[in-house]
Amino acid sequence: MYTPVPHHVIAIGASAGGMEEINSFFDHTPLDGVAYIIIQHLSPDFKSHMVKLLARHSKLVVQEAENGMWVKSNEVYLIPHDKFMTIRGNKLYLSNKKNVPGPHLTINAFFNSLAADCGQKAIGVILSGLGGRWH
């Protein structure tokens, strides 16, 4: 089945504690030709169950991102817990963060690549955590 290129790509940056806000957001998200990418600030040792949990709150296809995956409309992509992610040419690219000393600038790295790749079609949303600094 062909899914067209999204007219906008919305990236949501959040801490590990932002699950409730993300679920609430996707409880009300329509099928409207947009792609969503969730970048959580997670430890490389933390195994997330976000795909299964978020799928209960969304009409969209929810999946963990894979290296070289095309970004399609009406789909949600989640960063794997142990990866950095960038976007280039409407594809997602993953690299290991397991052996990279912190702080990990996971959200910043993705947002920078999103702006470079999608320009005016890029939208960034930050869901603040419990008072820590964003890196």
Q: Which residue has the higher pLDDT, 81 or 73?
A: 73
pLDDT attached to residue 44: 61
| 80 to 60, 90, 97: CA distances (angstroms) | 18, 18, 10
First to last CA, the chain: 38
What local confidence, expressed as pLDDT, does residue 134 receive? 45
Query: Average model confidence (pLDDT) for the chain?
Result: 86
Q: What is the pTM of this model?
A: 0.86
- Per residue in 4-50, pLDDT (tens digit) is 889 999 999 987 677 788 888 899 898 999 999 999 876 666 666 77
Tokens standing for 55? 């799928």
**Structure confidence at residue 130 as a pLDDT band (50, 70, 90):** low
The encoded tokens of residue 95 equal 């690299």
- Residue 68 · residue 93 · CB < 8 Å: yes
Alpha helices, H only, the chain: 19-27, 50-55, 106-118
- Weakest-pLDDT range from 13-17, 37-41, 86-90, 99-103: 99-103
Q: What mean pLDDT comes out for the span 88-114?
A: 88
8-127 adopts what CATH topology?
Rossmann fold (3.40.50)
In tens, the pLDDT along 63-77 reads: 999 999 999 999 999
How much is the average pLDDT of 47-59? Answer: 81
pLDDT over 50 at 1, yes or no? no
CA distance 36 to 61: 10
